[in-house]
Amino acid sequence: MRVTLPRTPAAAPQMPSIAEVLKSKDVEDPVNLWVHRPLAYWFCRAVFHTRISPNQITLLSILLGLAASLCWLMGNPRAMIAGGVLLWASAIMDGADGILARARNSQSAFGRALDGAADWVVGLASVGACVAHLWQTGHHALLFVLALPTTLLTVLQFNLFDFYKEVFVHHTRLDKRREGHLLADVERMHASESVQRGPWYVRWSMRLYVDYARTQDRIIDDTNPAAQQLLRITARNEASATLYRRENLASMRIWALLSTAPHAYLFSIFGMFDRLDLYIALRCVLFGALTGVVLVMQRRASERTLRAMQGSRADYPNG
């Protein structure tokens, strides 16, 4: 007589380790690496086996950021503290969506577009609330005037960091496929029937993604053409990874300090103490000077790296 043994159920997928879902430790600033990312990781671990999606976490990030802006518009001491806490929580959720997507291997072009749209919405809302609060509280007019150039400078820094982070990860993490998209890829996705016939929020997010990619492309073309060529080199190996890391790590560390994460927690802290005026001055003067320095460093590093790779075409052919 044949005996049928009960079938052993397949093991449920487990949350990968934090090292597996981080893009690279080299592209993170210290606070993000040791505070934001671990908190985001433990949140993702708690919701890994639920139906909560990365895009829903992105929407949560937007709601937290908008709530923070409303608190700063209220402007009383308790509201300023609450706004800082909410903005910090929004920044943590902004990193959690990507971690969960990588953990589930469910990255998508729309998810990346929605994440970029979330940054724009939260950024504009929080900066607008900051400016309104400074106007209401009567801080020095010069600081109010500096709000616009500071915002433009911050947008430039975020664009540059995002680009150089993707190039760095592409060349140094041989175990990862490129998550970012070239401009031509983004334009193709935006023109696809699935996007054009999709819901309004899909079309809107992809429209922002196209505009963001075009702006980023123009900035890199104007400031560092060699970096564009490096992004298009598809062949990678251990030697090329070592070369790229050696030539570009110092500038990558500085780009990380100018990224969204330090902006979020510094903005939050200065907001809690109701000294947003000091943050605007710090971001405009100190971070502005740092941007000028790292732009020169990065251009030289990219040119050295490209020359070395082009000089060894057998090992590093252009893709």
Average per-residue pLDDT for the chain: 85
pLDDT band at 291 (very low <50, low <70, confident <90, very high): very high
pLDDT band at 7 (very low <50, low <70, confident <90, very high): low
Q: How many CA atoms lie within 13 A of 104 on its CB side?
A: 19
Residue 155 domain boundaries: 23-310
Residue-level pLDDT at 319: 44
Domain contains 12: no
pLDDT band at 67 (very low <50, low <70, confident <90, very high): very high
Domain contains 319: no
As a whole number of angstroms, the distance between CA 314 and CA 317 comes to 6
Residue-level pLDDT at 8: 47
Q: Which two tokens stand for residue 111?
A: 């998810």
pTM summary value: 0.83
> What is the rounded average pLDDT of the residues 46-59?
91
Q: Residue length, the chain?
A: 319
> What is the rounded average pLDDT of the residues 33-50?
90
- Structure confidence by residue, pLDDT tens digits, 126-148: 888 988 888 888 766 777 677 78
Residue-level pLDDT at 202: 79
> What is the rounded average pLDDT of the residues 24-49?
89
Instruction: Between 189 and 280, name the one with better pLDDT.
Output: 280
Note whether 103 and 21 are within 8 A (CB): yes
Q: Is the pLDDT of residue 72 over 70?
A: yes
> What is the rounded average pLDDT of the residues 272-292?
90
Residue position matching structure tokens 């109010």: 144
As a whole number of angstroms, the distance between CA 102 and CA 104 comes to 5
pLDDT band at 316 (very low <50, low <70, confident <90, very high): very low
- What percent of the chain has a predicted confidence (pLDDT) above 90? 35
SS3 per residue for 227-266 = HHHHHCCCCCCHHHHHHHHHHHHHHHHHHHHCCHHHHHHH
- Please give the angle made by the CA atoms of 224, 225 and 230, to the nearest 5 degrees: 100
Of 42-46, 133-137, 308-312, highest mean pLDDT: 42-46
Domain contains 315: no
Name the 3-class secondary structure at 51.
Answer: coil
Domain contains 140: yes
Instruction: Between 194 and 274, name the one with better pLDDT.
Output: 274
Q: Is the pLDDT of residue 178 over 70?
A: no
Would you give the DSSP letter of residue 175? T
Note whether 213 and 186 are within 8 A (CB): yes
As a whole number of angstroms, the distance between CA 70 and CA 72 comes to 5
Domain contains 123: yes
Domain contains 279: yes
Residue-level pLDDT at 217: 87
- Structure confidence by residue, pLDDT tens digits, 208-262: 888 888 888 888 989 999 998 898 888 888 999 999 999 999 999 999 999 888 8
Domain contains 6: no
Residue 189's identity, in one-letter code, is M
Q: Is the pLDDT of residue 304 over 90?
A: yes
Residue-level pLDDT at 314: 43
| CATH number of the domain to which 124 belongs | 1.20.120.1760
- Structure confidence by residue, pLDDT tens digits, 86-115: 999 999 998 898 889 888 887 777 777 777
Q: Is the pLDDT of residue 4 over 60?
A: no
Domain contains 297: yes
Number of domains in the chain: 1
- DSSP readout, 87-128? HHHHHHHHHHHHHHHHHHT---HHHHHHHHHHHHHHHHHHHH
